Amino acid sequence: MTPIQAVSRLPKAELHLHIEGTFEPELMFQIAQRNHIAIPYQSVEEVRAAYQFHNLQSFLDIYYAGAAVLRHEQDFFDLTYAYLQKCREDNVVHSEIFFDPQTHTARGVAFDTVIGGIRRACDTARQEWGMSTALITCFLRHLSEEEAFATLAQALPFREHIIGVGLDSSEVGNPPSKFARVFAEARKHGFLTVAHAGEEGSPDYVHEALDLLHVSRIDHGVRAEEDEALMQRIIAEQMPLTVCPLSNLKLKVVDDLAQHNLHRLLQRGVLVTVNSDDPAYFGGYVNDNFTALQQTFALSTAEIAQLCKNSFQAAFLDNETRQKWC
Ligand code: ADE
Ligand code: ZN
């Protein structure tokens, strides 16, 4: 099996994926039209042309604006089902999906509407082709602790359908410590925890996510490499990093994919995984990320297989299911 064949043939899990970031322009136009919402673009081409980002914030501004056309349960179903079909094409057999309830509840869309549509799509994909999914509710870190507590309260009635809580949005200036109490409360209710850290923020943010939020995985974490003691800890504890190479390229975390540290991290024994983050905005789904890495670093079939295995190792799966895929 060649490395490129391995990319398409090997089953894999995706662990870092924002459902709002899978909103392809074609579907955005369709939903905007049926909901009678004006969007500031004339064509799909114009939307794609607007996807030029110089940092995380410049992306987030466009990403939140796009999500504003999602109003009804059917909209969240259509969005999620389209993503799950991409998973099927890419041989992603398990996906742990982030959603940002505050992006929607702030516009008067009920939590129930959001999770209802997402869950119905996940149930349909499970019935149709055995797709496995889990949901992670993210707190928007540019908003207050109080607002995160209110979101946690809204999530509690759906506790059995949500495996964990996460932390996303504008990193710099919004450290994990701001959410230590709400994460502690979430853990009391049995939620697992993850957090974006070390994407644009310094390694201190990764330390805080580990020590104050007690995360099971770090989302991104690429800047952890700047702190050797932290690296030693991540390797010793086999703390997973859910890395998103095309995202890092589009958001200028790296200027060139050849500068990306994923291959180096893998060679050092970090439990690193490959993910798409916001594929509709960053130019590709999971297999596109694998392919770009393979072409840049000449990854071997064994390295591709290790990355796929890592994705199950780092997933919130029971041991029996994990063994089945590893
Ligand atoms: N929300 C969606 N994508 C994100 C990213 N890459 N970083 C932080 N928040 C996000
Ligand atoms: Zn992300």
What is the rounded distance in angstroms from the CA atom of residue 297 to the CA atom of residue 223?
Answer: 19
Ligand 1 mean position to 320 CA, how many Å?
A: 31
Q: Whose CA is nearest to atom 8 of ligand 1?
A: 169
Tell me whether 0.90 is exceeded by the ipTM: yes
Q: Establish whether 199 is a catalytic residue.
A: yes
What is the rounded distance in angstroms from the CA atom of residue 148 to the CA atom of residue 165?
Answer: 11
Q: Which atom of ligand 1 is nearest to the CA of 278?
A: 3
Q: Whose CA is nearest to atom 6 of ligand 1?
A: 277
What is the rounded distance in angstroms from the CA atom of residue 81 to the CA atom of residue 199?
Answer: 28
Question: What does the pLDDT read at residue 12?
Answer: 98
Ligand nearest to the CA of 251: 1
pTM over 0.90: yes
Do the beta carbons of residue 299 and residue 39 sit within 8 Å?
no
Question: What does the pLDDT read at residue 326?
Answer: 86
pLDDT tens track for 220-276: 999 999 999 999 999 999 999 999 999 999 999 999 999 999 999 999 999 999 999
Question: What does the pLDDT read at residue 52?
Answer: 93
Mean per-residue pLDDT, 138-149: 98
Q: Whose CA is nearest to atom 9 of ligand 1?
A: 169
Structure letter (DSSP) for residue 98: E
Task: Give the model's confidence band at 128: pLDDT under 50 very low, under 70 low, under 90 confident, else very high.
Answer: very high
- The pair phi, psi for residue 242, each rounded to 5°, is -95, 95
Ligand nearest to the CA of 15: 2
Identified catalytic residue from 24, 199, 200, 303:
199
Ligand 1 binding site (Cβ under 6 Å of any ligand atom)? 18, 21, 56, 168-169, 196, 199, 247, 277-278
pLDDT tens track for 266-314: 999 999 999 999 999 999 999 999 999 999 999 999 999 999 999 999 9
pLDDT tens track for 86-119: 999 999 999 999 999 999 999 999 999 999 999 9
Give the residue among 112, 109, 188, 108 at the shortest CA–CA distance from 155: 112
Query: Positive or negative, the Cα torsion across 192, 75, 283, 8?
Result: positive
